[in-house]
Amino acid sequence: MERHARAIAPANIAFIKYWGKKDPILNLPFSHSFSMNLDNAKTTTEITFSPTLQADEGTINGKPLSGEELARTTQFLNSIRERAKVTDFAHIKSTNSFPTAAGIGSSASGFAALTLAGTAALQLKCTEKELSQYARLGSGSASRSIPDGFVEWIAGDSHETSYAVSIAEANHWDLVDLITVVEPDRKKVSTTEGHALAQTSPLFAKRIDELPKRVDAMRTALLEKDFATFGSILEIETWSMHLTTFTALPPMSYISPASLAVMRTLFELRAQDIPAFYTLDAGANVHVITREPYSIQVEKTLRELDGVVDVLPNRPTIGARLLDQEEK
């Protein structure tokens, strides 16, 4: 018997970052983190478990799954197969709505969609909390792509206590993430390597000390829609993460000269009373966060900059959901 399901899930941008792993097997973070789901960066995943397959297989944007990616997928599927007491292998077809070359991480949307499709195909009745816990096993940040809108990942200290919850619906706040693409190629240092390197930096311990206060301040700013406070915490958090890369052993950086130019342009916009703030995940592309009334002006300014290849506007959206056969 074949078992089939299809799901869609958004990528997310982290406002407080998951950086460094307390447990690299369970992907347990050192701190709570916050994010917003992105409506123009989604992965659609179709999964078919079949008794005739000899191994897991599949494609991402038409390219066969292989190597590390395939190993990670199989490891993840084993956890849900174990719960369902099923041994069938799976065929997976995954498609990203955003250009793969845009350098936007697809592991969050990918594993969130795979979690929902996989558990549905195996007819596991999972709560949102359980889905978030499973998604975390595939990729830490995928735990935050399960709930709706604005999301907090409760760090926890075990598989059961580490999962994400929605703190506000997508329509809570009119934020716009203008993903400013400056480096369309795949990054040289993977996120997983970055997590491991983080703890070699002498600044990492300081970051961990500071985070509880910053986490509370970010939650309040998000809930109260205090954009100026939100923006200043966002930028400090960005440097708190990225300075651990410059000071790691060996040192490295995701930030490029073009990313810096974008960041500095935002200072000029702010001097003209146009509020827009930056953050970067593990890549050179800058997520410029502004509010709806300023979005067109900010996008226009960013597009005119040397080194900017594209600007991809994203708004808050719902989390992962199942799709019917016909649904797009």
User: Identity (one letter) of the amino acid at 237?
Assistant: E
**Among 133-141, 228-236, 270-278, 291-299, the segment contacting ligand DP6 (CB under 6 A):** 133-141
Per CB under 6 A, the list member of 31, 139, 145, 265 interacting with ligand DP6 is 139
- Supply 43's token pair: 């992965």
How far apart, in Å, are the Cα atoms of 142 and each of 35, 100, 112, 137, 158? 11, 17, 5, 9, 17
Angle value at C-alpha 36, between 48 and 263, nearest 5 degrees: 120
Q: How far is the CB of 189 from ligand DP6 (least distance, A)?
A: 11
CB 254 within 8 A of CB 238: no
Cβ–Cβ contacts within 10 Å for residue 158, how many?
A: 10
Q: How far is the CB of 12 from ligand DP6 (least distance, A)?
A: 7
Instruction: Write b or e for each residue in 74-97: b if 16 or more Cβ atoms lie within 10 A of its Cβ, otherwise e.
Output: bebbeebbeebebebbbbbbbbbb
Q: How far is the CB of 300 from ligand DP6 (least distance, A)?
A: 27
Q: Where are the beta strands (DSSP E) in the chain?
A: 3-16, 21-23, 28-29, 33-50, 57-60, 63-64, 89-96, 150-154, 163-168, 175-181, 276-279, 286-291, 310-314, 321-323
Per CB under 6 A, the list member of 10, 105, 110, 149 interacting with ligand DP6 is 105
Q: How far is the CB of 95 from ligand DP6 (least distance, A)?
A: 19
DSSP 172: G
Nearer to ligand DP6, 105 or 316 (CB): 105
Q: How far is the CB of 129 from ligand DP6 (least distance, A)?
A: 18
- Supply 167's token pair: 């703190």
User: Identity (one letter) of the amino acid at 280?
Assistant: L
DSSP 291: E
**Among 125-133, 134-142, 264-272, 314-322, the segment contacting ligand DP6 (CB under 6 A):** 134-142
**Among 42-50, 138-146, 179-187, 228-236, the segment contacting ligand DP6 (CB under 6 A):** 138-146
Instruction: Map tokens 């735990």 to a residue.
Output: 143
Cβ–Cβ contacts within 10 Å for residue 182, how many?
A: 24
Which residues, numbered 263-282, are part of the site for ligand DP6 (CB under 6 A)? 281-282
Nearer to ligand DP6, 206 or 303 (CB): 206
Report how far residue 103's alpha carbon sits from residue 108's, in angstroms, rounded to the nearest whole number.
Answer: 13
- Supply 287's token pair: 């997520």
Nearer to ligand DP6, 18 or 277 (CB): 18
Nearer to ligand DP6, 141 or 259 (CB): 141
Q: How far is the CB of 4 from ligand DP6 (least distance, A)?
A: 26
Q: How far is the CB of 274 from ligand DP6 (least distance, A)?
A: 26
Q: How far is the CB of 101 from ligand DP6 (least distance, A)?
A: 18
Per CB under 6 A, the list member of 37, 44, 106, 107 interacting with ligand DP6 is 107
The answer to the question of residue 3 lying near ligand DP6 (CB under 6 A) is: no
Q: How far is the CB of 296 from ligand DP6 (least distance, A)?
A: 27
Site string for ligand DP6, 160-199 (x = CB under 6 A): -------------------------------xx--x----
Which residues, numbered 14-33, are part of the site for ligand DP6 (CB under 6 A)? 14, 17-19, 27, 33
User: Identity (one letter) of the amino acid at 5?
Assistant: A
Contacts of 14 (CB under 8 A, 6+ apart): 33, 34, 35, 141, 144, 279, 281
Report how far residue 212's alpha carbon sits from residue 202's, in angstroms, rounded to the nearest whole number.
Answer: 19
Contacting residues toward ligand DP6, per CB under 6 A: 14, 17-19, 27, 33, 105, 107, 139-141, 191-192, 195, 281-282
